[in-house]
Structure 1
Amino acid sequence: MLKLSSFLFIVICFSLTACESKTKNSAIDKTTQPGFDQQQARSFIDSINAKFSQQLAAGDSAALASHYWPDAELLLDNSEPVKGKDIINAWGGAIRMGMKEINLTTTDIKGDSLFIIETGNYQMKNDKGSLLDKGKYVVVWEQRNGEWKLYRDIGSTSMPARP
């Protein structure tokens, strides 16, 4: 049985691909389409990821939640989807449980002028530098009115299940 995060990633990819299939001879790899600059996208994402890490270290769950659209969803292991305004509470809970550091490493970026799909790896640590979790993620960035924010944030741990 597929994990929920894998299933959702497949659904998102299928949806994006299905939309493109309507255009005759359209390229599947949208990174070459006009309006999408891979280098600019990577620079933007690296900048936001650095800011995200600083905001987590500062314990600012409101700032973390500001990177998400109001209809965004946070999809994590062993939990129901966290939607909209509840995202601030999810990050606040993580901070209260001792998360102090997050390291995000982008491994792939694909997209067009409306969506960017970022794939990467993460490590979360406490204030003593001890590893709390590590894994992989897929986020879907959406542009609305010239502004990019997170539409879907999907994370999956790589650590073994605890007995």
Structure 2
Amino acid sequence: MTKAYFFIAASIICFYISSCKSNNSEKLPNLEAEIQALDKQWAKSFIDSINMKFSEQIAAGDSSALASHYWPDAELLLDNSEVVKGNDILNAWGSAIRAGIKEMTFSTTDITASPALIIETGNYEMKNEKKLLIDRGKYVVVWEKRNGDWKLYRDIGSTSMPAAK
């Protein structure tokens, strides 16, 4: 009788283990396909087009359009300032434009992408209306996809210019 219980218990355990393994193996290909669906080439094209829009919006002095690229819970983290959140991002871009930024160029150096996030690393240059360099530095931005839309979740910039004396 003990052997029969042992055999039944062993059969149930084997069945349970094999059914768990088959569920996991079915999920992995779907995850891999989803990750591959957002390839780096698409992400680079998307980032390049958005960076071009950013440059055009800065040249036009359109802080509202610039702020529209950010999620409501986004954060802007820049040198020598506190974290800028939410609606204050509009004010930050407005201040930058009023300070004389007329041209801003972006050069993406790396992109890492998943179905829900894109992490972009790059360099920037800011110039005034006379095309004089105001600032240059590096940045990391995190784009997040929500409800089919991609917007900025985190925007971190750091100057490469020496500190003023």
Same fold (TM over 0.5): yes
**Aligned residues, how many?**
134
Q: Calculate the aligned-residue CA RMSD, in Å.
A: 1.5
* 2:157 alignment partner, SS class: strand
Deviations 1:62-82 (A, max 9, x none): 000000000000000000000
TM-score when normalising by structure 2 = 0.79
Q: Which of 149, 156, 159 pairs up with 2:158? A: 156
**Letter of the structure 2 residue corresponding to residue 130 of structure 1:** L
> Following TM superposition, by how much is the alpha carbon of 1:145 offset from its aligned partner in structure 2, in angstroms?
0.5
Matched with 2:109 is 107
Which amino acid is 1:103 matched to? Answer: T
Any residues of structure 2 matched to 1:56-71 within 5 Å, and which?
A: 56-71=58-73
1:118 offset after TM fit, Å? Answer: 0.1
CA shift for structure 1 position 96: 0.4
TM-score, normalization: structure 1? 0.80
Q: Which runs of 5+ in 1 are unaligned?
A: 1-25
**How far 1:37 moved relative to its partner?**
1.2
Aligned partners of 1:144, 1:33: CA distance in 2, in Å?
Answer: 16
Q: Which residue of 2 aligns with 1:138?
A: 140
Higher RCO (CA < 8 A, seq sep 6+): 1
SS class of match (1:69): strand
Which structure dedicates a bigger proportion of its chain to helix? 2
Q: Are 1:87 and 2:89 matched, yes or no?
A: yes
Offset at 1:136? 0.2
- 1:36 is displaced (CA, Å) by 1.6
Secondary structure in structure 1 of the residue aligned to 2:97: helix
Structure 1 stretches of 4+ with a deviation exceeding 2 A read 32-35
